Structure 1
Amino acid sequence: MQMKLTETFDSTDLELIILLQEKPIANYSLIGKLLGLSSPTVKRRIDGLYSKVINRIVAIPKYSRLNLVPSSIFLEVNYTNFDKIEKIIDLHPYLYFRVRTYGKINGIHATFRLPQEGANYLKSFVKELINKNIAKNYLFFEHYSDYTIRGTPRFSAYTSKSGSWEFSWQKWISTPKDKVSRKDPIDDNIEPPKQKEKNIEFSDLEILSLLSADSRQKNVNILNKLTEKLSPQRLSDKLQEIKQKYISTYRVYLNWGVFDFTEVIFNVKTDSDFFKQLLSTYPPPFQTTFRDYVDTNGRKGFLLYLSCPPSHLIDAFESLMKISNDVELYLMNRKQQYRAPLNIKAFDKKKMDWIVSEDYLVLNLFENKI
């Protein structure tokens, strides 16, 4: 796989992309100092990358701190129903990510962050899609809290001479267990709180929602979008507090089509302890997201989202088969996906709690949509 730097972006743009992976919310001045560029040049180049390579740079909230837990579904859908079901799913107030997938189940994969008591309504929502002949079948996964491992791409693994990424999946998966950290990589900050968060203010949620849509927007833009008037200094103080308390990490989403990467999901049905420790200790040089789950039959497993060169796909598949005899592969359609920011409209400001009801999470989603 040869990256076409001259056609899409040059070596300076690549340096910018690498730096943004490390410092996604750094200001133009700092980036300029690190790369030897002026602030206006950095801004111009980053603006250009947004139209070619960068999809979004966003904050990933600590959803468990917000009393929201993850669930995932795969829906089997006839091709003629794709547009219809996407419009309905995109209306779900707790949608996190939705994409078309092709594999054992051809259709839609979606993940949600919703209140604990909303999981049963999500199942009712899925069953209603089937009852109305919009979907044919489904898989449902409940995840352990909001535990996620996210790996960022390391462009240092790319060799320009050979036009290839230097990484051996077979050596990686064969790493001796005594070389892998035995410490559970779960961060205490993402474990479900023992009681509901009481100290969060509505303005904090508004700010977090805006950052989950675009973490590089200017403070003045944030101030203009808030329902509560804040001084610039008060916003600055809140941003620091929110970063420490409610933001897990920042993510740079790239247009992997530029790199001729393939985006897939592996559904691996096995205990995930060794794999998640390996992934945390020695992450591959590609963008990855790991989530373990319990399915509707009580079976444990994990989902691995991977963006990599097509030449690495078979090796990745075979490496996973070394730890499980039951591995499913789903191709993702990068042109048909949607990432939803934290939806502040799903929060009842008067009750200071998330909205949960059958009308809100099931019935209203189908009104005038089918």
Structure 2
Amino acid sequence: MVDHSDLRILTALGRDPLGTVQDIGRSTGMTSATVSIRLKKLRQTGALFSVSAQLTYPTLGLEPVVTFIEAPFKSLAKIETLLDRHPYTRYRVRCIGYYNGLYGLFAVPEGTLTTLRDFLDELKGGVITDYRLDTPTNGWSYSEIDYDLYDMAQDQWGFNWAKLESSLEGVDTTPPQAKTRSSLIRRLDVKDLRILEQLTIDARRKGKRIAADIGITPYHLTRRMQFLNENRVVDSYRVIVDKGVSRLVTMFMFLCHCDAGETRRFTSAFKSLPFQSTLIPTHQGFFVQASIPPLDLPILGSILQQRCEKIESLWSDYRSSMRYYFWPGAYKDGTWDDSHEFMVEKVLGGAD
């Protein structure tokens, strides 16, 4: 069971994911010793699972794919097993609403979208009924939850949605100069990829431990981390909490169809959203996954409805969600394994 002080620490982590206990102490008004004890307790009880790096996939020669799988309830467990087996699955969660089945995020080698379709097509006619793929564009937006807005005694949130709505008007919708995130994969080695793996497992682990696990010196780790940060290989950090903490909010998803100007408005505004969210621009508009108080859903829905031509809404079961660590094992002989055998046949083999 978390208390108000624990929630303040989680809020501080959201604002400064890699901050030291001294940094968090200054932010929360607690001593470093108190922060250290509480962080340890949060981890031991499972309330705080990790702080996970969110990667910029194009810099690694990978193409992110937003995927919705329509399937009957009886097939969900089997599909989840298959997604667990797929080498390029990044995230999955059960969803209900416009799509009934699963939402998944893949990051596949560039140019292999057809191979991903082959994998999903193999599941049609028995396991899934249909699927939809969206290829995101650049400029993802992330936000973390601010528990300072939660009144534990009253069990209610005090966020001013009107302020967020008004902020949409002040966003410059002029198309930015086109930026392409070129792949850096040729400038990385397996040890760099293992660093990224460790950052997705838990970016708050001590550098000495990460270096020891990889088999490099702390100096080498520091130098490569500087390179990865300068080139924006890590896009953001996500604070992963237990469902006992996340019960304060419910995860909703919206596929919004709108013009590029509105997408830029929401991308900018959602950076200040005091709830954990990921906004992914697409060619049709944007996809947003946000954990918000259930009572606030109509307010957010109304804001979206006023500016979007069409909205496809879903809610998801946080308990069924699975995040996958970055896996260097798919990188072989200087390239990502993009063979049909690796991405389709081996995944399907032995799945029955």
Per the alignment, residue 347 of structure 2 pairs with 365
Structure 2 SS opposite 1:322 = helix
- Give 1:234's match in structure 2, choosing from 220, 225, 231: 220
- Give 1:83's match in structure 2, choosing from 77, 82, 91: 77
Q: Which amino acid aligns with 2:99?
A: I
Q: How many residues align?
A: 348
Q: Distance in 2 between matches of 1:316 and 1:149?
A: 17
Residue 301 (structure 1) shift: 2.7
Residue 164 (structure 1) shift: 3.0
Q: Distance in 1 between matches of 2:251 and 2:102?
A: 14
The 8 Å contact of residues 248 and 293 in structure 2, kept in 1 or not, is answered as: yes
Q: Which amino acid aligns with 1:139?
A: R
1:329 aligns with 2:320: no
Quote the RMSD (CA, aligned, Å): 2.5
Q: Which amino acid aligns with 1:304?
A: V
The 8 Å contact of residues 159 and 165 in structure 1, kept in 2 or not, is answered as: yes
1:142-196 CA distance string (max 9 Å, x none):
1114x3111222334445675433335466445563x2233557995xx331x65
1:69 aligns with 2:69: no
The 8 Å contact of residues 103 and 330 in structure 1, kept in 2 or not, is answered as: yes
Per the alignment, residue 125 of structure 1 pairs with 119
- Give 1:225's match in structure 2, choosing from 206, 213, 237: 213
Structure 1 SS opposite 2:307 = coil
Residue 309 (structure 1) shift: 0.5
Q: If the length of structure 1 is used for normalisation, what is the TM-score?
A: 0.85
Per the alignment, residue 181 of structure 1 pairs with 172
CA 30–327 in structure 1, closer or farther in 2 if over 3 Å, else same: closer
Q: Which amino acid aligns with 1:242?
A: L
Q: Which amino acid aligns with 1:136?
A: T
1:138 aligns with 2:113: no
Q: Distance in 1 between matches of 2:187 and 2:55?
A: 16
Once the two structures are overlaid, the 10-residue window that deviates more, 98-107 or 165-174, is 165-174
1:17-68 CA distance string (max 9 Å, x none):
1211122112234434554545443232112223353232111122211111
Per the alignment, residue 105 of structure 2 pairs with 111
The 8 Å contact of residues 154 and 285 in structure 1, kept in 2 or not, is answered as: yes
Once the two structures are overlaid, the 10-residue window that deviates more, 332-341 or 256-265, is 256-265
Per the alignment, residue 287 of structure 2 pairs with 303
Q: If the length of structure 2 is used for normalisation, what is the TM-score?
A: 0.90
Structure 2 SS opposite 1:182 = coil
1:312 aligns with 2:296: yes
Structure 2 SS opposite 1:335 = helix
1:338 aligns with 2:322: yes
Matches for 1:152-191 after TM superposition, within 5 Å: 152-159=144-151, 163-169=155-161, 172-173=164-165, 177=169, 179-182=170-173, 188=179, 191=180
Q: Distance in 2 between matches of 1:231 and 1:9?
A: 37
Per the alignment, residue 12 of structure 2 pairs with 19
Q: Distance in 2 between matches of 1:122 and 1:134?
A: 16
Q: Distance in 2 between matches of 1:32 and 1:155?
A: 16
Q: Which amino acid aligns with 1:149?
A: S
Q: Distance in 2 between matches of 1:187 and 1:123?
A: 29
The 8 Å contact of residues 96 and 341 in structure 1, kept in 2 or not, is answered as: yes
Q: Distance in 2 between matches of 1:155 and 1:37?
A: 16
Residue 77 (structure 1) shift: 1.3
The 8 Å contact of residues 67 and 192 in structure 1, kept in 2 or not, is answered as: no
The 8 Å contact of residues 99 and 109 in structure 1, kept in 2 or not, is answered as: yes
Matches for 1:6-45 after TM superposition, within 5 Å: 8-32=1-25, 34-35=27-28, 37-45=30-38
Structure 2 SS opposite 1:329 = strand
Structure 1 SS opposite 2:290 = strand
The 8 Å contact of residues 264 and 329 in structure 1, kept in 2 or not, is answered as: yes
The 8 Å contact of residues 263 and 286 in structure 2, kept in 1 or not, is answered as: no
Matches for 1:274-289 after TM superposition, within 5 Å: 274-281=262-269, 283-289=272-278
1:251 aligns with 2:238: yes
Residue 212 (structure 1) shift: 1.1
Q: Distance in 1 between matches of 2:316 and 2:89?
A: 17
The 8 Å contact of residues 73 and 140 in structure 1, kept in 2 or not, is answered as: yes
CA 44–285 in structure 1, closer or farther in 2 if over 3 Å, else same: same
Per the alignment, residue 5 of structure 1 pairs with none
Q: Distance in 2 between matches of 1:39 and 1:156?
A: 20
Q: Distance in 1 between matches of 2:73 and 2:279?
A: 28
1:260-294 CA distance string (max 9 Å, x none):
21101111122242243244146322222111224
1:210 aligns with 2:203: no
Structure 2: segments with no counterpart, 5+ residues? none
CA 185–37 in structure 1, closer or farther in 2 if over 3 Å, else same: farther
Q: Distance in 1 between matches of 2:2 and 2:186?
A: 47
Q: Distance in 2 between matches of 1:165 and 1:186?
A: 38
Q: Distance in 2 between matches of 1:185 and 1:306?
A: 25
